[in-house]
A and B are shown apart, each in its own frame.
Chain A
Amino acid sequence: MSYRLELLLGAGVILALAGSLLIGPAGLLPAESFAALLSGEGPAGLVMREIRLPRAILGALVGAALGLSGAALQGYLRNPLAEPGLIGVTGAASLGAVIALQTGLAAAFTLGLPLAALAGALAAVLLILALAGPRGAALTLILAGIAISALAGAFTALVLNLSPNPYATYEMVFWMMGSLANRSFTHVWLAAPFVVVGGAVLLSLGRSLDALALGEDAAESMGVRLSRLRLALVLGVASSVGAATAVAGGIGFVGLVVPHLLRRAVGSRPSRLLGASALGGALLVLLADIAVRLILPEKDLKLGVLMAIIGAPLFLHLVYRTRRELG
């Protein structure tokens, strides 16, 4: 088996990481930037090490988490519309994060923020699986997702409105659209363990998800333990999406766009789609984060804006293709 695709994507991620390190309002030349990154000296060193490097790393982490989770959910539900944002997992993770931040849980306890977001995501995944059933029929999946997203969004807005902080009310857009602006290594260290562990769990499910392409009975008869698979999937998705959302807000459509673009290239094998989608997600979010800095450098344009502009038309296309199933 040739891993040319993965190598290409990996090279793309490295280039995008470098690009992400080079772009910013400080207007450093590339050579200066990398010298400052290595030396860490002076204001340029601080900009490179404390501002751009964590942002780039977080972009890759968050993108990988979202791409991988989308591919895993789609493999499990055998439905190309399954995406953490569309089915409400991101929204519920946002709610968990907002509750942790506004109640002071996040300040009182280091892991409070990612764990609360994880709990929110977990509740949403469990609810989705209970509502949509094991086969994940498109209509129930999307309807359940709309309901969960709406409910989570409403509660998020309520919690923000109840906050004594006058700025909090205006931050709904961050929790809906996501942003990597002004993130630091604190956020990297908060999210990375959950994304890495959750991602490793999801990557380990590849062969089982392959077998599931033939249906649950066939998969089970081939030795797949369905209950264990389901548990691992739920925890893996909740952990990666929860942690990613806790630090970067609700970035949608990554898990829809990336697996869709890569599926043919990996021969539609869910197992290979997992790794490729993790790389592709990292690449896409890094590129989008570079784009938001180039388009409106000083405005903190939300990542989700760009993702929705790319993702929503694709989503419509997928709905159109599955309209018979939906009808």
Chain B
Amino acid sequence: MAEAPARVVSMNLCADQYALLLAGPGQLVSVSHVSRDTVASPYAALAAEVPVNHGGAEEIWLLRPDLVLAHEWSDTRVLAILRRLGIDVLQIPVPEAIAEIPDTVRAYGDALGQSATAELLATAFEQRLADLEFRAAALPPGKTATLYGANGYSAGMTGMAGDILRHAGLLPAGGALFAGGSVPLETLVMEAPDMIITGARYAGWSRSEALLDHPVFDALPAARRLSGPAWACGTPRVLDAVEALLAVREAS
């Protein structure tokens, strides 16, 4: 295994999370500016001390990184420039299922030269996952749930969001909600899931989020829960999301 890179820059929210979790002291030079957003960033608290960047090629270059962490969908033009300048750019896929998380942790650990830390983290994650699966199995089956956020956006159930629900012993709602995308309010009402998980709200007002204030929600029998940063990016914190759902279900 190669020597640990001395200066690491992350330019994507999801890569930020793993870098913040695993980097050694002084190793992480900069993370994306979104990483401090407490609504979207699972480990925002860890990002408070790290300088932020906005993903521009020039800005990243000036940080003199040995390794740049990016998303699969990061701006390919920026990445091409950085690679031409001789910088290592790594795009580790965001996990699409809870079971993929330990290996993702290990992959980042290898990239950062922090394999031992990563192994500890991955093992702890697997242990906690097993505990939670045990708790979920004790709950009555058949309850349905869906995500429904700003603009009527449903994350879809094929990815991480559905996996979180399933690990909390919930059945993902069907139809358009299962497929994901912008789902009309009418469709949500007709689908009548037992639980609706909406996104946490940003400051200020938007019509997109105001949809979630529609009075029809008060009339729906479904329980409403807020999602939160734990749901984002497929980090070890997804288990916080699972545990929160389990706690609600166990209490009712």
Contact = CB atoms under 8 A, between A and B. Distances in A.
Interface of A: 24-26, 43-44, 46-47, 50-52, 101-102, 104, 106-107, 163-168, 170-171, 174, 182, 184-186, 297-300
Describe B's contact surface by its main secondary structure: helix
B248 interface: no
Q: Which 8 A-B pairs have the closest CB atoms?
A: A165-B204, A167-B206, A167-B208, A50-B216, A164-B203, A163-B204, A164-B204, A26-B186
Contacts of B176: 25, 298
B77 interface: no
B187 A43 contact: no
Interface in B178-203: 181-187, 189-192, 202-203
Given A51-B216, A184-B216, A26 B204 contact: no
A166 B41 CA distance: 14
Contacts of B151: 167
B216 A26 contact: no
Contacts of A43: 189-192
A174 B207 contact: yes
Contacts of A165: 202-206, 209
Given A25-B186, A47-B189, A182 B211 contact: yes
Contacts of B215: 50, 184-186
Contact of B189 (A46, A101, A102, A164): A46
Interface of B: 150-152, 176, 181-187, 189-192, 202-209, 211, 214-216, 219-220
A52 B184 CA distance: 12
Contacts of A26: 184, 186-187, 189-190
Nearest to A171: B207
A223 to B, nearest CB: 47
Nearest to A50: B216
Contact of A182 (B181, B192, B214): B214
Given A51-B189, A51-B214, A168-B205, 16 more contacts: A25-B176, A46-B189, A46-B216, A46-B219, A50-B215, A51-B185, A51-B216, A101-B205, A167-B208, A167-B209, A168-B204, A170-B208, A186-B215, A297-B184, A298-B176, A299-B182
